[in-house]
């Protein structure tokens, strides 16, 4: 089994494998090109996102700077907006539903490292997929950790560290992120 196959299967793998490193270099170059594009050159930005991401829906806008590891594990639904400094460590799938809004300085991290120092120091790592539902708003400076699912119609408060699944239809915040309350009709302005 190759290191990439182990990575995709959720097993421990060596991240410094030559194939994986070459794929990261390709993605990093595309991210650098994307981040250097003149702000209003929409067509060029879309062309790079089409080359970088596995799939994206209509009306995708990612403010520079944007960084990812591979790109081919990222799926974005329709009406996606991310503010500046989005980081997606997509060693496993990162899937966003429709109508997802992300504040500045947010990170989605599928990559993790063993707690055992000997394993960690040997270069082993693992990855677990992240799924974000539809109609989700994620405030600024949020970290979403490996293996997390965020349900539909949910708001994650700024500064949260999401280490466990968050259900649909709630406001959640904190470190670690916890459900604060359900979203109700009273939340309509």
User: Which residue range is the domain that position 89 belongs to?
Assistant: 3-187
pLDDT tens by residue, 84-105 = 999 999 999 999 999 999 999 9
Q: What is the DSSP string of 98-113?
A: SSEEE-SS-EEE-EE-
- CA distance linking residue 30 with residue 113, whole number of Å: 26
Per the structure, how many domains does the chain have?
A: 1
Q: Which of 141, 138, 180, 146 is nearest to 163 (CA)?
A: 146
Give tens-digit pLDDT for 112-131. 999 999 999 999 999 999 99
Instruction: For residue 138, list its beta bridge partners.
Output: 102, 156
Residues with a known catalytic role: 113
Query: pLDDT tens string for the chain (189 positions)?
Result: 999 999 999 999 999 999 999 999 999 999 999 999 999 999 999 999 999 999 999 999 999 999 999 999 999 999 999 999 999 999 999 999 999 999 999 999 999 999 999 999 999 999 999 999 999 999 999 999 999 999 999 999 999 999 999 999 999 999 999 999 999 999 987
Type and span of the H or E element at 43: helix 42-52
CATH (domain of 25): 2.160.10.10
Taking the C-alpha atoms of residue 14 and residue 3, their distance in angstroms, rounded to an integer, is 6
């Amino acid at each position: 089994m190759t290191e990439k196959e182990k990575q995709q299967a959720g097993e421990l793998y060596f991240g410094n494998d030559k194939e994986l490193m070459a794929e990261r270099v390709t993605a990093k170059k595309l991210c650098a090109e994307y981040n250097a594009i003149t702000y209003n050159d929409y067509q060029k930005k879309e062309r790079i996102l089409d080359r970088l991401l596995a799939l994206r829906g209509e009306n995708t806008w990612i403010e520079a700077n944007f960084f990812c590891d591979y790109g081919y594990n990222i799926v974005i639904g329709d009406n996606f907006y991310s503010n500046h400094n989005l980081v997606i460590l997509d060693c496993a799938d990162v899937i966003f539903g429709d109508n997802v809004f992300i504040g500045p300085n947010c990170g989605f991290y599928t990559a993790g490292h063993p707690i055992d120092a000997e394993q960690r120091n040997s270069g082993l790592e693992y990855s677990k997929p992240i799924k974000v539902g539809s109609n989700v708003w994620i405030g600024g400076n949020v970290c979403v950790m490996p293996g997390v699912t965020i349900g539909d119609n949910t708001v994650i408060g700024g500064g949260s560290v999401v280490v466990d699944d968050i259900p649909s239809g709630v406001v959640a915040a904190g470190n670690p992120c916890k459900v604060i309350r359900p979203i109700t009709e009273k939340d309509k302005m």
